[in-house]
Chains A and B, each alone.
Chain A
Amino acid sequence: MIKNNDKISENQLSILLFTTMLGAGILSLPSDVTKAAGPNGLIVILLGGILALIFARFICRIASIFPTETFVEYSAKLMTKPVSVILSIFLVAYFLIFCSLNLRIFGEVAKSYLLNSTPIEVIMITLLFTSGYIVRYGIEPIARLSEILFPIMVIPTMIILLPAITDIDLSNFLPILRISPLKLLKGILLTAYSFVGFEILYVIFPYIQLENKLKKSINISFFSIIFFYIYVTFYTMGIFGYKETSVQLWPLLTVIKSINFPGFFIENLESLIMGIWTFAVFTSISAFHYAATLSLSKLIKAREHTYLVIPLIPIIYFLALIPDSIVEVYKYASYASILTLFFVIILPILMFIAIKLRGKGMKNNEEN
């Protein structure tokens, strides 16, 4: 049974989705899209975002047929128990992998920019235990924290970038759409990876207080993140041009280095952006951590998820330490995006087919 105070409203959901999707990926996003699509980076983000939105709505639709169950439970009904168990284990692993990827990238960035002599392990453990602390209290505090951090993350980032508008060369976005459709499609799929995070809908759906504007709140959340991504990429590409952007590791941080904030007493704004970005990573990590804990607790039929929070911390920690170097981190990230492809696109379609096949027996449960 779900406790009443552990439900989130639909408005909270839209902010939670935003902050979950906005994570470590924002730093390298401009470089990924320009590598895939050259000067058409902004178009690719828009289309990739819409693609992700379609599948997010799709996942929601499937979940809404079983409004009180998480993926672990309803997949058993749809595709037999053994398949469901395997898929659920993969889902837990998936959440853990993305949690640890975010964590590792955070550690690397913090170490190279801010805390040169602090061991990366310490940076990571600190963040992880903070996340564990909030995850123990369930989804409602996580959503509330997102609500508090959301304006702190978004508004300063937008203001800090604003003075750079005079440096933007709009011709950097030309020529428009002179690219093979296949390459464009590949770019779209690659960007869809930047929207990773909405898969938590698989497990958090029963915790949403449904008030008939679920679709609207998901739309709002996606369009605001598409806008935010486009905003950031617009500045990066406008200032560096796509050729230089595509070879940079963290273009967002480099673009901050080239901003002259007029009449401001702080000259280098990287540390400010790093602080903001820490929030973004933290909200992503805690959401993934929660999703992993929750699905695991459903899988082993535990009464409460709280006992599983601490045991997962070392797993995330060691997963995060597996890659040897920053190059390997991004190599693993690209492997993980294959998993994304499965959970975001293939699995919903499979489940949809399963529903159609077994649909006759479950008519009474049709979406509300």
Chain B
Amino acid sequence: MKKIKIVILLLLILSLITGCWDKVEIEDRAFVMAIGIDTSNQAKNYIVTFQFPNVKQVTSAAGGGGGGGGQPNFSISEVGDTVFSASRHVSTRLDKRLFLGHTKAVILGKDVVSNRDKFLEVLDTLDRSYELSRKLRLLVADGKAQDILLKNYKFDPDIGVYIDDIFKQYNRTSIFPNIDYNKITKSLHDTNGNAIIPVISSGKDELKIAGSAIIKDYKLAGWLSDGENMGYMWLMGFVKGGDITFNMPTTDGKEVKIPFNITNTVMKRQVTEQDGKIIYKIKYDVEGEVTEYSFQKHGEMFDTNVLGTMENKANKVIEKMINDSLKRFQKDLKVDMVGVGDYIQKYKPGLWSKVGSEWKTRFPDVVVEPVVSTHIRRIGLFK
């Protein structure tokens, strides 16, 4: 009797040690690093492209075997009525299971963002996914996303990592917004459909991220060029680095182009109401260094007056940048994407209860007064 009990017990234990229900071997997974979504004109709605590294090659290289030939990356496209169904139907042609937990970038084709309904569908798929990270980079392609993902790039064949690394250097230029997926959805939720998404384009064997797409009411409304984009970054207070160039007249009546390298900025905002007009004041304190002047003029720069003139010139350039960008938003697009409404809502709730309901019509008339004061802290190694 006791023996039978033990045998039954052992058999029961046997059922527990079969291992995990959900086990997937690592070689059988396709770790998708980048996803591209395009619309399709055929029967199905979307073309979805997945790009994932060749795990076999990666593992054999790490082991020092050196073998494991083949290309470093694979891309596969699939059509589907929804993005999700495309990601499932891929499995009819692929011997691996897609895993989206490590995806670094999602690239939307221009057609997707131009079509309100499709853009909403795609956004919801991304939002509801259990696997997708919220740190991923969402970008708009200037053409088809598929064209970007089906190429091999020489600097880093892994497009997801490539894009992520470019973003890490955003503050060297400030010409594309350092906005990840998390911030884009927050912006879309907060403003009911307005956001800025960085733009990606591909050359023969390299990628470029510059400028941004303006989304108004869940739809592509226009593009920001590099300069306008920096103006936008100024308005949002995102600028933490980058460079601007201004013309500096010299003592002999000529002009020199001078690069000013921004190292830090502090933004302060204030809203007042005068005679029914809303006045939005932004004050910037910009710190930075001048890195070029003229070889002939060595010794001249060691003068606070010269630096003062330079600071004034820099102020003008930055203010112009901001005003150009503002003109885009206030006059052309008539959409508040620069956080004025958001600021009033949070810091002047009394004023917001008056103007909030008709903010769309009020925004173009807001008087924005940027005041920039630049401080040149360093001048390089020569006086």
Cross-chain contact of B134 among A171, A241, A243, A258 (Cβ < 8 A)? A258
Known A175-B345, A268-B101; judge A241-B190 contact (CB<8 A).
yes
User: CB within 8 Å of B: which of A51-78?
Assistant: none
For residue B133, which residues in chain A have a CB less than 8 angstroms away from its CB?
257-258, 267-268
**What is the CA–CA distance of A241 and B133 in the complex, to the nearest angstrom?**
18
Cβ contact within 8 Å between B190 and A244: yes
Cross-chain contact of A174 among B101, B132, B190, B346 (Cβ < 8 A)? B346
**What is the CA–CA distance of A308 and B134 in the complex, to the nearest angstrom?**
46
Cβ contact within 8 Å between A247 and B189: yes
In this assembly, does A217 line the interface, its C-beta being within 8 Å of a C-beta of chain B?
Answer: no
Tell me the smallest distance from the CB of B75 to a CB of chain A, in Å: 22
In this assembly, does A350 line the interface, its C-beta being within 8 Å of a C-beta of chain B?
Answer: no
Known A178-B349, A268-B101; judge A241-B189 contact (CB<8 A).
yes
Q: Which chain A residue lies CB-closest to B134? A: A258
**What is the CA–CA distance of A122 and B343 in the complex, to the nearest angstrom?**
50
**What is the CA–CA distance of A115 and B342 in the complex, to the nearest angstrom?**
41
Known A171-B346, A175-B345; judge A258-B189 contact (CB<8 A).
no
Cβ contact within 8 Å between A115 and B134: no
In this assembly, does A365 line the interface, its C-beta being within 8 Å of a C-beta of chain B?
Answer: no
In this assembly, does A240 line the interface, its C-beta being within 8 Å of a C-beta of chain B?
Answer: yes
For residue A114, which residues in chain B have a CB less than 8 angstroms away from its CB?
22
Tell me the smallest distance from the CB of A311 to a CB of chain B, in Å: 21
**What is the CA–CA distance of A257 and B134 in the complex, to the nearest angstrom?**
5
**What is the CA–CA distance of A118 and B20 in the complex, to the nearest angstrom?**
9
Cβ contact within 8 Å between A254 and B22: no
In this assembly, does A90 line the interface, its C-beta being within 8 Å of a C-beta of chain B?
Answer: no
B293-316 Cβ-contact flags toward A at 8 Å (1 or 0): 000000000000000000000000
**What is the CA–CA distance of A240 and B185 in the complex, to the nearest angstrom?**
9
Q: Which chain B residue lies CB-closest to A170? A: B346
- Majority DSSP secondary structure for residues of B touching A: helix
Cβ contact within 8 Å between B134 and A244: no
For residue A124, which residues in chain B have a CB less than 8 angstroms away from its CB?
none
Tell me the smallest distance from the CB of B348 to a CB of chain A, in Å: 8
For residue B186, which residues in chain A have a CB less than 8 angstroms away from its CB?
239-241, 244
Cβ contact within 8 Å between A257 and B189: no
In this assembly, does B102 line the interface, its C-beta being within 8 Å of a C-beta of chain A?
Answer: yes
Cross-chain contact of A175 among B101, B132, B347 (Cβ < 8 A)? B347
In this assembly, does A130 line the interface, its C-beta being within 8 Å of a C-beta of chain B?
Answer: no
For A, the interface residue count at a CB cutoff of 8 angstroms equals 26
In this assembly, does A334 line the interface, its C-beta being within 8 Å of a C-beta of chain B?
Answer: no
Tell me the smallest distance from the CB of A35 to a CB of chain B, in Å: 13
For residue B343, which residues in chain A have a CB less than 8 angstroms away from its CB?
171
In this assembly, does B135 line the interface, its C-beta being within 8 Å of a C-beta of chain A?
Answer: yes
For residue B135, which residues in chain A have a CB less than 8 angstroms away from its CB?
257-260
In this assembly, does A112 line the interface, its C-beta being within 8 Å of a C-beta of chain B?
Answer: yes
In this assembly, does A117 line the interface, its C-beta being within 8 Å of a C-beta of chain B?
Answer: yes
Tell me the smallest distance from the CB of A153 to a CB of chain B, in Å: 23
B360-373 Cβ-contact flags toward A at 8 Å (1 or 0): 00000000000000
**What is the CA–CA distance of A247 and B132 in the complex, to the nearest angstrom?**
18
In this assembly, does A116 line the interface, its C-beta being within 8 Å of a C-beta of chain B?
Answer: yes
**What is the CA–CA distance of A244 and B181 in the complex, to the nearest angstrom?**
13
**What is the CA–CA distance of A259 and B102 in the complex, to the nearest angstrom?**
13
For residue A117, which residues in chain B have a CB less than 8 angstroms away from its CB?
21-22
**What is the CA–CA distance of A244 and B191 in the complex, to the nearest angstrom?**
11
In this assembly, does A113 line the interface, its C-beta being within 8 Å of a C-beta of chain B?
Answer: yes
Q: Which chain A residue lies CB-closest to B133? A: A257
Q: Which chain B residue lies CB-closest to A177? A: B349
Cross-chain contact of A118 among B22, B102, B342 (Cβ < 8 A)? B22
**What is the CA–CA distance of A258 and B132 in the complex, to the nearest angstrom?**
10
User: CB within 8 Å of A: which of B258-301?
Assistant: none
Cβ contact within 8 Å between A243 and B22: no
Cβ contact within 8 Å between A244 and B346: no
Known A241-B189, A257-B135; judge A118-B21 contact (CB<8 A).
yes
Q: Which chain B residue lies CB-closest to A169? A: B186
**What is the CA–CA distance of A287 and B185 in the complex, to the nearest angstrom?**
39
User: CB within 8 Å of A: which of B93-141?
Assistant: 101-102, 130, 132-135
**What is the CA–CA distance of A290 and B190 in the complex, to the nearest angstrom?**
45
For residue B345, which residues in chain A have a CB less than 8 angstroms away from its CB?
175
Cβ contact within 8 Å between B349 and A116: no
**What is the CA–CA distance of A115 and B134 in the complex, to the nearest angstrom?**
21
In this assembly, does B182 line the interface, its C-beta being within 8 Å of a C-beta of chain A?
Answer: yes
For residue B101, which residues in chain A have a CB less than 8 angstroms away from its CB?
267-268
Known A240-B186, A243-B189; judge A113-B22 contact (CB<8 A).
no
Q: Which chain B residue lies CB-closest to A248? A: B127
For residue B21, which residues in chain A have a CB less than 8 angstroms away from its CB?
115, 117-118, 122
For residue B346, which residues in chain A have a CB less than 8 angstroms away from its CB?
171, 174-175
A302-319 Cβ-contact flags toward B at 8 Å (1 or 0): 000000000000000000
Tell me the smallest distance from the CB of B45 to a CB of chain A, in Å: 25
B324-368 Cβ-contact flags toward A at 8 Å (1 or 0): 000000000000000000110111010000000000000000000
**Max chain B C-beta neighbours (<10 A), residue from A117, A239, A241, A258:** A258
Tell me the smallest distance from the CB of B306 to a CB of chain A, in Å: 37
For residue A240, which residues in chain B have a CB less than 8 angstroms away from its CB?
182, 186, 189
Cβ contact within 8 Å between B189 and A244: yes
A107-134 Cβ-contact flags toward B at 8 Å (1 or 0): 0000011111110001000000000000
**What is the CA–CA distance of A114 and B130 in the complex, to the nearest angstrom?**
9
Tell me the smallest distance from the CB of A332 to a CB of chain B, in Å: 22
Q: Which chain A residue lies CB-closest to B192? A: A243
A243-265 Cβ-contact flags toward B at 8 Å (1 or 0): 11001000000100111100000
Q: Which chain B residue lies CB-closest to A249? A: B128
Cβ contact within 8 Å between B130 and A115: no
5 residue pairs of the A-B complex, CB under 8 angstroms, read A122-B21, A174-B349, A175-B346, A259-B135, A268-B133
Instruction: Give me the 7 closest cross-chain CB pairs, A-B, nearest first.
Output: A174-B346, A258-B134, A175-B349, A118-B21, A244-B189, A257-B134, A258-B182
13 new A-B pairs (CB below 8 Å) besides A122-B21, A171-B347, A257-B135? Answer: A113-B130, A115-B22, A174-B347, A174-B349, A175-B347, A178-B349, A243-B189, A244-B186, A257-B132, A257-B133, A258-B182, A260-B135, A268-B102
